[in-house]
Amino acid sequence: MADQQFDLIVIGSGPGGYVAAIRASQLGMKTAIVERESLGGICLNWGCIPTKALLRSAEVLHLAKTASAYGLKVDKADFDLDGVVKRSRGVAAQLSGGVKHLMKKNKITVIEGDARLEKGTNAPDVIVKDAKGKDTTYKAKHVLLATGARARAIPQAGLEPDGKLVWTYREAMVPDVMPKRLLVIGSGAIGIEFASFYNELGSEVTVVEAVDRILPAEDKEIAAFAHKSFEKQGMTIKTAAQVKGLKKGEDSVTAEVSVGGKTEKIEVDRVILAIGIVANSEGLGLEKLGVKLDRTHVVVDGFGRTGVKGLYAIGDLTGGPWLAHKASHEGVICVEKIAGAIDEAHPFDNWNVPGCTYSHPQVASVGLTEEEAKKTGKKLNVGKFPFIGNGKAIALGEPEGLVKTIFDAETGELLGAHMVGAEVTELIQGYVIAREGELTEEDLMHTIFPHPTLSEMMHEAVLASEGRAMHI
């Protein structure tokens, strides 16, 4: 019975769950984690990591194709689809194995199976059904839900995956064939990343987005820059467009798309659905416990508390932004609150969560867009600096891009920062740290950035907000 009683049981081993479990163990809590598939959750196995491995293969292929621009000779640059997928799956397996090692290192008990909750004493009891169908009851002082989310489907509109012709991210990561023609429905980060990958490998890619621009969560100017770049690479992008239905053939799909009041038919080999996500909140017994849900997501406060004694929730299960790093940070705050390591004055807040899209070009941002900042009524200082003015960008052969900063003109507060171009997903953290440390426009102006680096553009964009840019 001792092995069935814990201080904390975490349900779900994605970046939110396993990080929370590690932090709990560090704080001296006897911890268990329940996982029904592979350690690392969707992110490590079917999301963040394997997609980046695919995109890296596409990036290397692009460099090989353009080798002559660097004075190099590469004959017949091509790809092996099975090899590309195999590498991606290998990376995922390696990192999942790494999580297993971390669980062992931190003395965290791993329980395999499907979990559901029932009313308990200090916290809900956790009943886990193993692969043989046997139920085992585990008890804990605290239970943390980190069950994540899955791809959204709209069956009534015919937008439902079938695993063959209509894919979600899972099928798109392990294609059995390379589609000559591909339709991507949805232009958020997931849709655009897959569009970028398949476009580089030679597919004729069409992206359909319901709103009036791609990457709807990004700054309008940055999204427009990316849109132009993607079209230059050969993508077809249709915004303010609706897919009214999908008619499946033997090995093709015909999509009925409404654009500008007119309906057109697009025949493709495969379709990728990237129209949002749905929280994995069903089957857990939450309704019986009185847990409040909002459109499948669990409602929590800034410490992950659900309002049910001893029950907490974090990550994609609780709503957007649906990002692994946000889930991990939420998990740490939640566990530290449980352990009494932080007080009520420091709840989790979404105000400084960076967003990244790993397409070509990359897109990254943090804070308010210019449109959002204008709605605050504050006087703004907006700075912009193009990649073409940066020596390192030119040397890399990546002269297309833009860095944009938005400051409160009166206080110097960095309200938002937005980037598009090579490696911007590695640069954005500089602005995240600046916001967290409450550095002002003047502080950043007085900071020395190394030369030659892409990071110099971050400095130049700050200088540009006061009309002081040096290299443009």
Handedness of CA 91, 92, 97, 100 (dihedral sign): positive
Residue 409 · residue 378 · CB < 8 Å: yes
The whole-angstrom distance between residue 420's C-alpha and the CA centroid of its chain comes to: 16
CA–CA distance, 187 with 166 (Å, rounded to integer): 16
**Candidates 101, 346, 451, 471; catalytic one:** 451
In Å, what is the CA distance from 413 to each residue of 114, 154, 432, 457, 463? 47, 42, 12, 19, 14
Residue among 2, 8, 9, 10 nearest 317 (CA) = 10
Which DSSP helix (H) or strand (E) runs through 431?
A: helix 424-436
Look up 451 and say whether it is catalytic: yes
CA–CA distance, 123 with 293 (Å, rounded to integer): 19
CA–CA distance, 295 with 291 (Å, rounded to integer): 13
The whole-angstrom distance between residue 182's C-alpha and the CA centroid of its chain comes to: 22
The whole-angstrom distance between residue 148's C-alpha and the CA centroid of its chain comes to: 12
Contacts of 426 by beta carbon, 8 Å cutoff, 6+ apart: none
Residue among 306, 331, 322, 303 nearest 18 (CA) = 331
Q: How many helices (H) and strands (E) does the chain have?
A: 14, 24
Q: Token digits for 434?
A: 């600046």
| Largest separation between any pair of C-alpha atoms in the chain | 70
Q: Token digits for 24?
A: 């709990």
CA–CA distance, 336 with 219 (Å, rounded to integer): 34
Q: How many Cα neighbours within 13 Å face the side chain of 232?
A: 9
DSSP for 81-99 reads HHHHHHHHHHHHHHHHHHH
Q: What are phi and psi of 18, to 5 degrees?
A: -70, -35
Computed over its alpha carbons, how large is the radius of gyration of the chain?
Answer: 24
CA–CA distance, 303 with 425 (Å, rounded to integer): 28
Residues identified as active-site: 451
